[in-house]
Amino acid sequence: MAKRLDLKDVDIYYGSFQAVDGVTLSIPPNSVTAFIGPSGCGKSTVLRALNRMHEVVPGARVEGEVLLDGEDIYAPNVDPVSVRRTIGMVFQRPNPFPTMSIRDNVVAGLKLQGVKNKKVLDEVAERSLRGANLWNEVKDRLNKPGGSLSGGQQQRLCIARAIAVQPEVLLMDEPCSALDPISTLAIEDLIANLKKQYTIVIVTHNMQQAARVSDQTAFFNLRATGEPGRLVEIGDTEKVFSTPTEKATEDYISGRFG
Amino acid sequence: MSTTIDLDEPAVGPTFTPISTGRKIRNGIAAVLVTLAFLVAVVPLVWVLWTVIAEGLSVVLRPGWWTQSLNGLLGRQQGGGAYHAIYGTLMQSLIAAAIATPIGILVAIYLVEYGAKSRLARATTFMVDILTGIPSIVAALFVYAVWIAILGFDRSAFAVSLALVLLMVPVVVRSTEEMLRIVPDDLREAAYALGVPKWKTIVRIVIPTALSGMLTGISLALARIMGETAPMLILVAYAPFINYNVFAGNMASLPLLMTVERANPTEAGSDRIWGAAITLILIITVFQLIAALLSRVTAPKTK
């Protein structure tokens, strides 16, 4: 089942450099939240802090609380691996595993967690590929390598792979920025479907996309170059795009800066 | 078009010009130089191969070359074979490979996946670079000093293997390191995001992706140590008979057979040298072919 995410006064550092300052926001279950803002404003950093992926960078740390249904994912005894099992992620560039077939790519998460039952894996593969609107295109070539698909198909394969482990939350880091408009549309339709089962957070540079797919929008910005990024405004997408409370949001959305 | 008048001439010169004579000449000179360099590199190679095959082919086709030793034969007597030396070369280098490959791969994994830019990793890279250039006779003398002089073991084929390990590890480390580094970080992150622990990501995602190149590197390292001679000269003595025990007694190997028979002025002696040479080249070629095949099978596919 989808769960809610709450951020309470989150600061993110890379070594001594503070990248993000004091972000507080709530993401309700079964909703799509879009993070928008100019490059370098920390929106991807915040996204990666939501499943502890930023820890891959040495020296990165988070202060404040990130709560998944009230449970702090940064509590001292929490294994980051278990956090990532619960909060999945789709990346900017499609990254299927090159040594694996389409089917094995989809079930990679389960297989690497030790599931061996072929019947279970086949079922999960079909269900996930259907969930990612890819089943009809690949059902006759499940044993072909993942790299044989087109870019848009590869990205849907990666989404299928992410939902195969049945996370509660799905994080998407500019999932359409490497795709053409038709593939982008396919992914956006998919996001609308996935919302029924998952809580979705999507980072995007494309404001029309944010307006199309999201329920609420969070606008991030820097006070000045070299300063940490911060959350300027969060609200219902409709309201943020029509009557934003902050002038910076209005300027950004109307294209006057950024 | 035969009645062109001045008015039809373009008012300005053409935009495109023909290739200038100077460039044609420079191009010609460069082409000749490049071709000459190619010939200078290839001619000796073909020559060596041709000589070895011409002199040695009849020897390795003799009955018994691949199945018999030289036990009991006098220097001038024809006959016998190189089985004892082939066994020695294979055993010594395969034992060395069996020890050096896991060490080399683990060091490379440490350097790429765990060490990052730590001081220990930098120091290790530096040491590996130095070890790559270490002359084989120095490695042999080091093993002699430690294994035989200090620890008191006898000279044996295993001591040779230990010296070969010293020569092979840095080559395996460097080539594996290169291959692991070109695995995109995207794949590691994709695995982490699925809730896969780091060690499993390395074993199941990173290594399979890099495996093809790693195999090529290991086979090149194996080819390098198979032709080594210095460790055999120092750490084990030649035996014309078959010795299956790598831990005791003298043992032949193909390079050693060649060195020893060089003192044999008879035709039988020179036949054995050419035969051993072609045998060594063949063995290395077979290993390279197997490696190339494995590397093709394990390479990531896109179709």
Taking contacts as CB-CB distances below 8 angstroms, the residues of chain A near B208 are 99
Taking contacts as CB-CB distances below 8 angstroms, the residues of chain B near A84 are 192-195
Q: Do A148 and B302 touch (CB under 8 A)?
A: yes
Q: Is the pLDDT of residue B9 over 80?
A: no
Q: Is the pLDDT of residue B197 over 70?
A: yes
Q: Which residues pair with A20 in a beta bridge?
A: A12, A229
Taking contacts as CB-CB distances below 8 angstroms, the residues of chain A near B193 are 51, 53, 84, 88-91, 162
Q: Is the pLDDT of residue B253 over 60?
A: yes
Which residues have a Cβ under 8 Å from the Cβ of A112 and sit 6 or more positions away? B191, B194, B196, B200, B201, B204, B205
Q: Do A53 and B188 touch (CB under 8 A)?
A: no
Q: Do B186 and A91 touch (CB under 8 A)?
A: yes
Looking at chain A, which residue has its C-alpha nearest residue B200?
A112
Report the C-alpha gap between B274 and A145 in whole angstroms. Answer: 48
Label residue A210 by pLDDT band (50, 70, 90).
very high
Task: Measure CB to CB from residue A97 to each of B197, B205, B211 and give the nearest one.
Answer: B205
Q: Token pair 């820890």 is at which residue?
A: A55
- What's the N-to-C CA distance of chain B in angstroms? 55
Task: Measure CB to CB from residue A97 to each of B187, B193, B197 and give the nearest one.
Answer: B187
Q: Is the pLDDT of residue A149 over 70?
A: yes
Task: Measure CB to CB from residue B195 to each of A91, A99, A109 and give the nearest one.
Answer: A109
Q: Is the pLDDT of residue A80 over 80?
A: yes
Q: Do A99 and B300 touch (CB under 8 A)?
A: yes
Contact between A137 and A55 (Cβ < 8 Å): no
Q: Do A108 and B194 touch (CB under 8 A)?
A: yes
Q: Average pLDDT of B260-273?
A: 91
Predicted confidence (pLDDT) per residue in A22-67, tens digit: 999 999 999 999 999 988 888 999 999 999 998 888 889 999 999 9
Q: Do B208 and A158 touch (CB under 8 A)?
A: no
CATH number of B85-298: 1.10.3720.10
CA nearest A103: which of A170, A161, A166? Answer: A161
Taking contacts as CB-CB distances below 8 angstroms, the residues of chain B near A162 are 193-194
CB of B116 within 8 Å of any CB in chain A? Answer: yes
DSSP per-residue codes, A75-140: STT--HHHHHHHEEEE-SS----TTSBHHHHHTHHHHHTT---HHHHHHHHHHHHHHTT-HHHHTT
Q: Token pair 């999945």 is at which residue?
A: A88
Average pLDDT score over chain B: 91
Looking at chain A, which residue has its C-alpha nearest residue B191?
A109
Task: Measure CB to CB from residue B195 to each of A82, A95, A148 and give the nearest one.
Answer: A82
The one-letter code for the residue type at B301 is K
The pLDDT > 90 percentage for chain A reads 68
Q: Do A109 and B196 touch (CB under 8 A)?
A: yes
> Beta-carbon neighbour count of residue A138 at 10 Å?
22
Average pLDDT score over chain A: 91
SS3 B147: helix
Report the C-alpha gap between B250 and B244 in whole angstroms. Answer: 10
Predicted confidence (pLDDT) per residue in B230-245, tens digit: 999 999 989 999 999 9
Alpha helices in B183-300 (DSSP H): 185-193, 198-201, 207-226, 230-235, 254-261, 267-298
The one-letter code for the residue type at B238 is Y
CB of B23 within 8 Å of any CB in chain A? Answer: no
Which residues have a Cβ under 8 Å from the Cβ of A139 and sit 6 or more positions away? A126, A129
Burial of A248 (0-12, 13-18, 19+ CB in 10 A): middle
Task: Measure CB to CB from residue A99 to each of B189, B194, B208 and give the nearest one.
Answer: B208
- What's the N-to-C CA distance of chain A in angstroms? 37
Label residue B4 by pLDDT band (50, 70, 90).
low
CA nearest B228: which of B150, B290, B284? Answer: B284
Q: Do A165 and B191 touch (CB under 8 A)?
A: no
Task: Measure CB to CB from residue A51 to each of B187, B193, B196 and give the nearest one.
Answer: B193
- B229: tokens are 């001679």
Looking at chain B, which residue has its C-alpha nearest residue A100?
B300
Q: Token pair 């691949």 is at which residue?
A: B66
Q: Do A81 and B303 touch (CB under 8 A)?
A: no
Number of separate helices (H) and strands (E) present in chain A: 11, 10
Taking contacts as CB-CB distances below 8 angstroms, the residues of chain B near A98 are 187, 209, 300-302
Contact between A10 and A196 (Cβ < 8 Å): no
Q: Is the pLDDT of residue B11 over 80?
A: no
- B294: tokens are 């494995």
The full set of domains in chain A, from first to last, is 5-91+168-253 (3.40.50.300)
Q: Is the pLDDT of residue A207 over 80?
A: yes
Contact map slice: B 180-209 vs A, CB within 8 A? 184, 186-197, 200-201, 204-205, 208-209
Q: Do B190 and A148 touch (CB under 8 A)?
A: no
Q: Is the pLDDT of residue B2 over 60?
A: no
Q: Which residues of B256-274 are buried (b: 16+ CB within 10 A; e: fewer)?
A: bbbbbbeebeeebebbbbb
**pTM of the predicted model as reported, rounded to 2 decimal places:** 0.85
Which of B118, B189, B194 has the highest number of chain A CBs within 10 A, making it the mutation to test binding with A?
A: B194
